[in-house]
Amino acid sequence: VIERTLGSVAAAVGGRLRDADPAALVTAEPAADSRLVKPGGLFVAVVGQRVDGHDFARAAVAAGAVAVLAARPTGAPTVLVDDVVTALGALARAVLADAGSTQVVGITGSSGKTTAKDLVAHLLRRRGQTVAPIGSYNTEIGLPLTVCTVDRATRHLVLEYSARRQGHIAYLCTIAMPHIGVVLNVGTAHLGEFGSRAAIAAAKAELVEALPADGAAILNVDDDVVAAMRRRTAARVVGFGVERRADVHADRIQFDRLARPRFRLHVHGEQVDVRLGLSGLHQVSNALAAAAVAAEVGLGLAETADALASATAVSRWRMEVHERADGVVVLNDAYNANPESMAAALRSAAHIAGNGRAWAVLGEMAELGPESVRAHEEVGRAAVAAGIHHLVVVGAAAEPLAAAAAAAGADVHRVPDPAGAVALLANLVRPGDVVLVKASRAVGLEQVGTALA
């Protein structure tokens, strides 16, 4: 972090100090969770849905926080502002300005932001000090918190930009303006909130609209809606794609026993053979996006291939592959779920199973709005079509999935909760089976994956 006095923090965020020494020095990154406060850090008192951060102000200071960024006096040393989230954004903006030459890479898309972010960061570390969040941290709170960890030695900052409503990404770009922007795909995640795929696309296009003319827009040309964003940016466009001959593309794609891709990578006319350490048929696309970014920062092709080979799944529960001693392969992809990532995971699980037996432990895909029932039915049918004939469906909300899979001829078991799935599978899974575990975050299926592994 870049150290600054409380007086400087107050000036950056337009706040006033209460019960606080303007000369006191902030020496550690801010945190919005009082349990994560580091000595010398700032505690950011956010009013959440369940808790009000202001109630934890004293605890945070007792844990070592220098002061609290808050919207009302807390009894502890406080930087008082009208709106805490806006102030946090302003602080992050000031940090980036002080850092000087940090180059921001922004990633958006319906699926794969964190996976691609981790890959990009892994590649860029070869070029210099790189900051990227663990996990997602892609909101108006998480993104500035990550930005605040930058210091003057940071060359690259890799961020994911989530679109929870129109204007959201545009706002995040005012905090950290990307020089390189990546759009992975436009799917149907959060369809309930946006109403249409076109509205989702418009929200994601805000990333490339924010790019400067000397920046680069890295667009997935396999996705027509993303490819069309080339008309919405002043930046130079670099296309990547599996299916088409793009600036950055792949051919001779093959997958090993654990669905790890191997392919010929083409980057602006040069080519190299690549083996990925990550599992999943969809990882080729994520790797192409990362390779396109690497080329922008001048990483050589051989080094790109070498770094891609050593990449592992760093953020939890995204296509984690566990091979048990008895040969059972557990695919813990329980971080979240939407129709596209479900389809990708089902195809990957079926590939790994080959002629063997595949199970899918599936739960609700949340936030799909009026399309929800149909989307669940489609996933049920897609599982069977992919060759997965044994399903464990967790929770009543996923019943349309269960019914459609059963109608398509699958062997379907219904359980009320994750514990029920663990108990059931203990008796049913045989050596050599493949078990995919996936649902929206709230279902909590990661514990099934952990228990099985």
Any idea what the Cα angle at residue 216 is, between residues 210 and 222, rounded to 5°?
Answer: 100
318 binds Mg ion (CB under 5 A): no
Q: In what order do the strands lie in the sheet with 103-108?
A: 130-131, 156-160, 103-108, 180-183, 216-220, 236-241, 248-255, 261-267, 270-275
Shortest reach from residue 268's CB to ligand ATP, in Å: 22
Q: Which residue is closest to ligand ATP by CB?
A: 112
Stretch that binds ligand ATP, among 94-102, 105-113, 399-407, 414-422 (CB under 6 A): 105-113
CB of 114 to Mg ion, least distance (A): 3
Contacting ligand ATP (CB under 6 A), which of 285, 332, 440, 450? 285
Q: Residue 263 CB, nearest distance to ligand ATP (Å)?
A: 15
Specify the stretch interacting with ligand ATP by CB under 6 A; choose among 55-63, 168-176, 267-275, 340-348: 340-348
Residue 345 interacting with ligand ATP (CB under 6 A): yes
Q: Dig out the tokens for 384 from the structure.
A: 């069977």
Q: How far is the CB of 56 from ligand ATP (least distance, A)?
A: 25
Interface residue with ligand ATP, options 280, 380, 395, 400 (CB under 6 A): 280
Cβ-based nearer residue to Mg ion, 136 or 447: 136
Could you tell me the smallest distance in angstroms from the CB atom of residue 72 to ligand ATP?
A: 31
**Residue closer to ligand ATP (CB basis): 78 or 285:** 285
When binding is defined by CB under 6 A, the residue of 103, 188, 332, 336 that contacts ligand ATP is 336
With CB cut-offs between 5 and 8 Å by kind, which of ligand ATP, Mg ion, none does residue 282 bind?
A: ligand ATP
Total binding residues for ligand ATP by CB under 6 A? 25
Q: Closer to ligand ATP at the Cβ: 74 or 336?
A: 336
CB of 115 to Mg ion, least distance (A): 8
Q: Do 6 and 15 meet the contact criterion of CB atoms below 8 Å apart?
A: no
Residue 1 or 453: the one with the smaller Cβ distance to ligand ATP is 453
Q: Given the rule CB under 6 A, which residues bind ligand ATP?
A: 109, 111-115, 136, 138, 160, 162, 184-185, 280, 282, 285-286, 318-319, 333, 335-336, 340-341, 344-345
Q: Given the rule CB under 5 A, which residues bind Mg ion?
A: 113-114, 136
